[in-house]
Amino acid sequence: MHVIGPSSAAAELLQYRQLWWCLTWRDLRVRYKQSLLGIAWAVLIPLSTTLIFAFVFTRAVNVVAAMNLDMPYVLFAYIGLVPWTFFSASLNGCVNSLVANRNLVTKVYFPREVFPLAAIGSSLLDFCAAGTVLAGLLVYYHLVDPGWSYSPPATLLLLPVVLCVQVVLTAGLGMLLAMANLFYRDVRQVFGVAINLWMFVTCVVYPLPADDSVTGWIVAANPMTPIIEGYRNCIIHGELPFTGRFACAAGVSIVMLALGWWWFRRKSHRFAECI
């Protein structure tokens, strides 16, 4: 089957941007339909998870002192959990996006990429809602923690760059997962286990070593670690996120998007018969 080039594929996808927005909005409405708290769940999930880890690491185990953090632990965990929740929720939506829209896949032609991209789009809106709470947490700890103060650094302006790299990585993985789950339905279950394990080899709720140990090598190969570190550098440390590891993560993200998009397009003619 003939596969159109990247520029033509991008132009075609742009023509269907209204459809992408409609599917994104539909996914968001379905997620919170008949929900008492609605979009507030986008905030409550990372915030409640942060409080749980804060209790475990500061009360039950009390290992925060050994972490040598230069910020309150709640801020460290929340800044990690918000982008991780976005990443996890996006991929969870992507993995079932083709199967859940089987009627549209089999009856109407349009770029099938809109399904995983719509899942990412709806999770991105949740990410923005959860991110607004961070401003309140920064002000709170600035006022109540005598050993820590905060002033917004200029590097906050670079947050969209870090987010863009994460979205590129998520889109590439999302298209691969959506396609794989369509052909092999147990991919969804395997992914559910893998994404939970992945969080614990990423610096989401505790710092990880970057040394020559096995854990260090896993951390070095994990593109989400420098991405989350990039958020912390921009928001807290006032440092540029453009480290060597972040550049590698950006490169991996671009390759993943190119591979995912190419393979997705190449196999899209088989989607209807596999539904």
Specify if 180 maps to a domain.
Answer: yes
Specify if 252 maps to a domain.
Answer: yes
- Whether the CB-CB separation of 224 and 202 falls below 8 Å is answered with yes
Specify if 1 maps to a domain.
Answer: no
Specify if 34 maps to a domain.
Answer: yes
33: three-class secondary structure by DSSP = coil
Domain count, the chain: 1
Specify if 78 maps to a domain.
Answer: yes
Q: What is the domain range of residue 142? A: 6-274
What is the predicted pLDDT for the residue at 267?
85
Residue in 181, 199, 185 with CA at minimum distance from that of residue 87:
199
Instruction: Tell me how far apart the alpha carbons of residues 28 and 140 are, in angstroms, rounded to a whole number.
Output: 30
> Computed from CA positions of residues 17, 227, 6, 172, in that sequence, does the dihedral angle turn out positive or negative?
negative
Specify if 160 maps to a domain.
Answer: yes
pTM value > 0.85:
yes
Specify if 145 maps to a domain.
Answer: yes
Tokens for 22?
């409609």
pLDDT tens profile 77-109: 999 999 999 999 999 999 999 888 888 877 777
What is the predicted pLDDT for the residue at 2?
46
- Whether the CB-CB separation of 145 and 229 falls below 8 Å is answered with no
What is the predicted pLDDT for the residue at 215?
67
141: three-class secondary structure by DSSP = helix
Quickly state the pLDDT bin for 230 (edges 50, 70, 90): very high
Q: CA angle at residue 187 from 184 to 188, to 5 degrees?
A: 125
More confident site: 54 or 162? 162
Instruction: Tell me how far apart the alpha carbons of residues 206 and 196 are, in angstroms, rounded to a whole number.
Output: 15
CB-based contacts of 141, cutoff 8 Å, min separation 6? 71, 72, 74, 75, 148, 150
pLDDT tens profile 128-138: 989 989 999 99
What is the predicted pLDDT for the residue at 10?
73
Specify if 16 maps to a domain.
Answer: yes
CB-based contacts of 9, cutoff 8 Å, min separation 6? 111, 261, 265
Instruction: Tell me how far apart the alpha carbons of residues 273 and 126 are, in angstroms, rounded to a whole number.
Output: 34
Instruction: Tell me how far apart the alpha carbons of residues 183 and 71 are, in angstroms, rounded to a whole number.
Output: 46
- Whether the CB-CB separation of 140 and 110 falls below 8 Å is answered with no
Give mean pLDDT, residues 259-263.
92
What is the predicted pLDDT for the residue at 1?
46
* Phi (first) and psi of residue 122, to 5 degrees: -70, -35
Altogether, the residues listed in the chain come to a count of 275
Instruction: Tell me how far apart the alpha carbons of residues 244 and 221 are, in angstroms, rounded to a whole number.
Output: 12
